[in-house]
Amino acid sequence: MSVTDINWFKYSSPQALYPLAGKLTPWFSALAVILMGAGLYIGLLLAPTDFQQGDSYRIIFVHVPAAWMSMFLYVVMALWAAIGLGLKARPSYMMAQAIAPTGAMFTFLALLTGSLWGKPTWGTWWVWDARLTSELILFFLYLGVMLLRTSIDDARRADRASAVFALVGVVNVPIIYFSVQWWNTLHQGASVSATAAPKMAAMMLLAMLIMSLGFWMYSIAVILARLRCVIREREERSSVAGQVERPVAVGGV
């Protein structure tokens, strides 16, 4: 191991992260449960029926938050990957590793609920249009990042390879986001935008925003919990050297 590999991040930060993540997880979990409960209550019981789409529109309360998280988490994952590459910071790679499965899950949910919304609204489960196709590509990008990591035995090479892959794939996110403007598509335009008045009733918008906030808190909680697993797994794998494992274990008690 060369001298340049021994840096502040490598030894002190996972030790600090492990107990911190453990302390934060219950708070974000509680926030997630409260927000999702409120969002479901408003969205399913209080929000009015849509005059065009009937009650099928209520799928929006899981579809849009899932789709937002799928894109947002990819950008955050790519950011941690970039920081990891730039600073050779192992905790950054650990964050990227912890984010990927949750991002993939939300991408899957966005596709599934979109399909379940498309059938009654458009009359088809799937079309190969820009929005749907680019979201499907996002799913494959997440899978690619995860598979690349598991297929490389050496942890540092796996970190770098999956980070580079994640960074290249980030160009897909603006394509997803702007696809409804750039191409003709069955998919409706943005439900919320900074420049235009909302096209939805206030109650619908409120439920959607609260659900999104709930999904966000859920993501933080589950990613921090997974980060702890990742830290433990990786310290155990590299514990032949023995420096890191004990402080981490002590920090977690």
Smallest gap from residue 221 Cβ to other proteins (A):
8
Q: At residue 24, what are phi and psi to the nearest 5 degrees?
A: -80, -30
253 binds other proteins (CB under 8 A): yes
Pick the stretch among 79-87, 97-105, 139-147, 153-161 that binds other proteins (CB under 8 A): 97-105
Q: Which is nearer to other proteins, 7 or 121 (CB)?
A: 121
44 binds other proteins (CB under 8 A): yes
Query: Are 131 and 174 contacting, i.e. CB atoms less than 8 angstroms apart?
Result: no
Smallest gap from residue 245 Cβ to other proteins (A):
7
Query: Are 58 and 44 contacting, i.e. CB atoms less than 8 angstroms apart?
Result: yes
Residue type present at position 29: S
Smallest gap from residue 214 Cβ to other proteins (A):
10
Tokens of 178: 């702007």
Q: How far is CA 207 from the centre of its chain?
A: 20
By rule CB under 8 A, what count of residues binds other proteins? 39
226 binds other proteins (CB under 8 A): yes
**The only residue of 16, 30, 112, 171 in contact with other proteins, by rule CB under 8 A:** 112
**The only residue of 70, 92, 97, 102 in contact with other proteins, by rule CB under 8 A:** 102
Q: How far is CA 83 from CA 19, 79, 91, 103, 238, in A?
A: 22, 6, 10, 19, 22
Closest CA to 138 of 184, 107, 115: 107
Query: CA-CA distance, 159 to 153, in Å (whole number)?
Result: 10
**The only residue of 7, 56, 185, 191 in contact with other proteins, by rule CB under 8 A:** 56
62 binds other proteins (CB under 8 A): yes
Query: Are 26 and 218 contacting, i.e. CB atoms less than 8 angstroms apart?
Result: no
Binding-residue pattern over the window 116 to 145 for other proteins, x denoting contact by CB under 8 A: xx-xx-------------------------
Closest CA to 107 of 50, 146, 80: 146
198 binds other proteins (CB under 8 A): no
Provide CB contacts within 8 A for 29, sequence distance 6+: 217, 218, 221
**The only residue of 9, 13, 34, 101 in contact with other proteins, by rule CB under 8 A:** 101
Question: Which residues of the chain form contacts with other proteins (CB under 8 A)?
Answer: 40, 44-49, 54-56, 58-59, 62-63, 66, 101-102, 105, 108-109, 112-113, 116-117, 119-120, 218, 222, 225-226, 228-229, 232-233, 236, 245, 249, 252-253
